Amino acid sequence: MSSAPDTTYKKIGDPILLDKIDKLFACNVGEYIDLPQLVVLGDQSSGKSSVLEGLTRLPFPRDSGLCTKFATQITFRRASYHSVHVSILPDTNSTEDYKERIKEWNKSEIKQLDATTFASIIADVHTVMGLSHNTAHASGLRKTFSNDVLRLEIHGPDEAHLSVIDVPGIFRTTTAGITTTADKELVRNMVETYMRNPRTVMLVVVPANVDPATQEILEMAKEVDPNCHRTIGVFTKPDLVDKGAEPKVMEIIEGKGPDSQLEWSIVRNPGQQELNSSTMDRGALEESFFRRKAPWNTLPRERRGVNALRKRLEEVLAQHIRREFPKVKAEINKKLGECKHILDSLGAERETADKQTMYLLNLATRFQHIADLAVKADYGGDSIFDKLTALRLATQLVDRNERFSADMTDFGHQFQFEKSDDAAEKSSDTEASQLESDIMGEKQKHANTRYIANALELSEILFNEDTVTVSSPVAIHKWLKDMYKESRGFELGTFHSSLLTSAMRQQSTKWQVICSGYISDAVVLVHNFITTLLHSLCRDNRVSQGVLDMLLDGLIEKYKKSLAQAAFLVNVELSIVPMTLNHYFSDNLEKCRQQRIESEMESNSIDNCKHGSVVPLSFLVQAHPMSNFDHTTRDMHDILRSYYKVARKRFVDNVCMQAAGYHLVCGPDTPLKLFSPSFVLGLSQEQLQEIAGEDLGLKRKRAQLKQEIQDLETGRKILI
């Protein structure tokens, strides 16, 4: 049935542009970007498969059970030898198992694609895609259409580099037990996808024996190509046009119809009886029809017959290529940049232990550099801090330190000390909580001890969230009197030192929970910094997660040291006899006593004197008897208050500097220093492979990207 290929049409148009397209297809650029291609479109039974057969000279199957149920991409490529390769491109929305199974199916040992071989291939494809071979599929167990694409790659010395697509014909009504509404929508979406590609030349096939206004495919083509720059109309079945209807078809072909922008051709496909003849010559049959049959024999020769149509398509393709060439060049450059960026994000190749070590060494060095900048708050030292504000570790810790100090000031004491009227004392005593008060307005009556969510992997070592409230409304003097009453001995005018120890321990009972919440938050801040930085520096999640998994035991050990130091500081403050060498204790105690005297004298002061407020001498020297009990408890209050203030500030500083600062951030053995070059050099080959070794998927992706970059680079040079 097939005849020797006709090569007379293959150099019509701009030979330079056609040659460049040939070379782009030859170097596989068409695999990555849209290149000019031809798509044959039409309603079911419009004769489009027969038109495609005439254009490609391929013997498409005639079995109704093997009609077009999927897109078929036919790619012709010039080569020194003749070969045919058949494969299937799976639908991108398919499952991974289905994709793998579909990709494994292919045929490459085909020497000649005759009718029998072609029909056998199509039947096999139906089976592989899970399509019904005939109409007996009412059970619905097999699908009717598929979004998979059958690819036929035909190589030969006389072939031009050209891609032709045959898609299923659209239909408006469903057939019970054969097609469904879902099938109709699937086919329509498939056809529209090809039509919307701006580099697709659309060959719209319409039967001449029906009114073109009823053909939905024409309306769809107008929507995507209103100026008909890339659309060609072709009439089929002129031998079936009713008598008297020919003039209307002739007017459309001659450009006298309502859509004069769309150029039309007409072909005469062989009928079923003619196809059954072993001596049928399609070219001779069609030539005879258009030479003898009126009124078709009056049409210009360039508008009738498949050979003329083939030449016209080549001309349109050449014009289309000329328009699209600048866009193709820009898209190649864009795609090339994207591929290089993705390949760069995969990092250096890591096939050997040496390459894996070097990769991790570079990663660790970069990590330490960023961590050092973060601790110093030198955020201008690297642009990563502009992209990820979560890496501003020093700022986050300072904010948490201030909140810790404020919580200790507002909620740390169990009982409220006697209020002071001294302005300076008030200012000093609320210094740490002023920032919180400004931000939150009215002073809160309770606060949470945790402000940062736990990292899941640290939940076993960190403290849970708790709540602390303002100090007890019980008067502190009543509490001290009860304590003294239950603990006094034979002391005269004083009290035993153990009583101050007990009072301090009870007054500071909330220090532990507030401190535990603070140090847990500090640990989470550091841990979040480490994980965020690793993931940002290493886009291969497998590697970054592998590094974290390998570091986790060491990190937890260091976090525990910080937690233990905080617990140690709490224990020191609450368990030993209160002591301090800080002169502010004496200053505070003296101020307390002076303020008490001043408060007692204030009610007897005189304000209308030129010397200010004065107190009569008689009042100063008069006796103010006070029991030993009251005197002692008042002294206990002043001493406890003075010492508590010094101890609280000392405790806050020690926890921030030692437990958080030294053990987590600035010390010689902090978690930030764990992922270092020395850590990498200490890994075994098994550990290196586990962390940085490339899996098969990554190797395959890297190889694909390299091949794509190579092809695109070649394509870019072709277009220069």
Q: pLDDT tens, 133-157? A: 554 444 444 678 888 888 888 888 8
Residue 421: pLDDT band (50, 70, 90) is very low
**Number of alpha carbons in the 13 Å side-chain half-sphere of residue 720:** 6
Q: What confidence score (pLDDT) does residue 458 get?
A: 93
Q: What confidence score (pLDDT) does residue 432 get?
A: 40
Q: What confidence score (pLDDT) does residue 12 get?
A: 36
- Find the mean pLDDT for residues 188-199: 87
Is the Cα torsion angle 9, 15, 20, 21 positive or negative in sign? negative
Q: Which residue has the higher pLDDT, 509 or 497?
A: 509
* Highest mean pLDDT pick, 61-75, 107-121, 662-676: 662-676
With pLDDT > 90 as the criterion, what percentage of the chain qualifies?
A: 28
State pLDDT tens for residues 53-74: 888 888 877 655 446 788 888 8
Compute the distance between CA of residue 40 and CA of residue 51 in angstroms, rounded to an integer.
Answer: 8
Q: What confidence score (pLDDT) does residue 234 get?
A: 94
Question: What amino acid occupies position 15?
Answer: P
Q: Which of 63, 3, 41 is nearest to 272 (CA)?
A: 63
Residue 631: pLDDT band (50, 70, 90) is low
Do the beta carbons of residue 499 and residue 407 sit within 8 Å?
Answer: no
Q: Which residue has the higher pLDDT, 97 or 443?
A: 97
Q: What confidence score (pLDDT) does residue 36 get?
A: 77
**Number of alpha carbons in the 13 Å side-chain half-sphere of residue 655:** 35
Among 393-402, 471-480, 502-511, 604-613, the range scoring the smallest mean pLDDT is 604-613
Cα-based distances in Å from 122 to 107, 166, 194, 256, 586:
12, 13, 21, 41, 100
Is the backbone peptide bond immediately before 157 cis, with ω within 30 degrees of 0? no
State pLDDT tens for residues 311-370: 888 778 777 878 888 888 899 999 999 999 888 877 777 778 888 899 899 999 999 999
What are the counts of helices (DSSP H) followed by strands (DSSP E) for the chain?
A: 25, 11
The residue with tokens 């071979």 is 133
Tell me the two tokens of residue 131.
């399509």
Q: 197 by DSSP, 3-state: which? A: coil
Residue 422: pLDDT band (50, 70, 90) is very low
Q: 278 by DSSP, 3-state: which? A: coil
Do the beta carbons of residue 6 and residue 307 sit within 8 Å?
Answer: yes
Cα-based distances in Å from 39 to 75, 230, 316:
12, 11, 13
Opening angle at CA 111, ends 110 and 117, nearest 5: 55
Is the backbone peptide bond immediately before 295 cis, with ω within 30 degrees of 0? yes
- Residue 440 pLDDT greater than 50, yes or no: no
Per-position DSSP letters for 637-681, written without gaps between them: HHHHHHHHHHHHHHHHHHIIIIIIIIIIIISTT-GGGTSSHHHHH
Q: Which residue has the higher pLDDT, 136 or 642?
A: 642
- Find the mean pLDDT for residues 562-586: 85
For 431, list phi and psi in degrees, rounded to 5: -55, -45
Residue 540: pLDDT band (50, 70, 90) is confident
Residue 591: pLDDT band (50, 70, 90) is confident
Cβ neighbour number for residue 680 with a 10 Å cutoff: 24
- Residue 189 pLDDT greater than 80, yes or no: yes
Q: What confidence score (pLDDT) does residue 426 get?
A: 42
Q: What confidence score (pLDDT) does residue 433 get?
A: 45
With pLDDT > 70 as the criterion, what percentage of the chain qualifies?
A: 81
Q: Which residue has the higher pLDDT, 400 or 599?
A: 400
- Residue 270 pLDDT greater than 80, yes or no: yes
- Find the mean pLDDT for residues 407-421: 80
Mean pLDDT, the chain, rounded, equals 81
Domain chopping of the chain, boundaries: 58-197, 395-598+628-693
Among 69-83, 134-148, 149-163, 234-248, the range scoring the smallest mean pLDDT is 134-148
Helix or strand holding residue 322 (H, E):
helix 306-345
- Residue 233 pLDDT greater than 50, yes or no: yes
Do the beta carbons of residue 452 and residue 519 sit within 8 Å?
Answer: no
Q: What confidence score (pLDDT) does residue 369 get?
A: 96
Compute the distance between CA of residue 225 and CA of residue 39 in angstroms, rounded to an integer.
Answer: 14
Among 231-245, 255-269, 270-284, 601-615, the range scoring the smallest mean pLDDT is 601-615
Alpha helices in 150-267 (DSSP H): 181-196, 216-224, 246-253
Q: What confidence score (pLDDT) does residue 516 get?
A: 95
Q: What confidence score (pLDDT) does residue 436 get?
A: 42
Q: What pTM was estimated for this model as a whole?
A: 0.56
Compute the distance between CA of residue 291 and CA of residue 271 in angstroms, rounded to an integer.
Answer: 18
Residue 594: pLDDT band (50, 70, 90) is low
Compute the distance between CA of residue 294 and CA of residue 236 in angstroms, rounded to an integer.
Answer: 16
- Residue 680 pLDDT greater than 70, yes or no: yes
- Find the mean pLDDT for residues 158-172: 78
Q: What confidence score (pLDDT) does residue 524 get?
A: 96
Residue 81: CB partners within 8 Å, gap ≥ 6? 155, 156, 157
Tell me the two tokens of residue 152.
């036929």
- Residue 200 pLDDT greater than 50, yes or no: yes
State pLDDT tens for residues 3-52: 434 433 333 345 577 667 767 876 778 778 887 778 999 888 888 888 88
Residue 491: pLDDT band (50, 70, 90) is low
Q: Which residue has the higher pLDDT, 617 or 212?
A: 212
Residue 623: pLDDT band (50, 70, 90) is very low
- Residue 593 pLDDT greater than 90, yes or no: no
**Number of alpha carbons in the 13 Å side-chain half-sphere of residue 77:** 20
